[in-house]
Amino acid sequence: MSIVKINALTVPAEQRETLEQRFSSRAGMVENSDGFEWFELLRPLEGTDQYLVYTRWRSEEDFQAWMSGTMRAAHQGGGEGAPQQKPAATGSTLWSFEVVQQAAPKDK
Does residue 104 lie in a domain region?
A: no
Does residue 82 lie in a domain region?
A: no
Spatial strand order in the sheet of 50-57: 36-42, 50-57, 3-10, 91-98
Region for 47 from its dihedrals, namely left if φ exceeds 0, alpha if ψ lies in -120 to 50, beta otherwise: left
Q: How far is CA 48 from CA 43, 69, 95, 100, in A?
A: 10, 31, 17, 28
The model's pLDDT over 81-102, given as tens digits with 9 standing for 90+, comes to 556 678 899 889 999 999 999 9
Instruction: Give the CATH number, domain containing residue 14.
Output: 3.30.70.100
Distance from C-alpha of 71 to C-alpha of 105, rounded to nearest angstrom:
31
pTM: 0.82
Does residue 66 lie in a domain region?
A: yes
The model's pLDDT over 3-49, given as tens digits with 9 standing for 90+, comes to 999 999 999 999 999 999 999 988 788 899 999 999 999 999 999 99
Confidence of residue 53 (pLDDT cuts 50, 70, 90): very high
Looking at the 3D structure of the chain, how many domains does it have? 1
**Domain span at 10:** 3-77+87-98
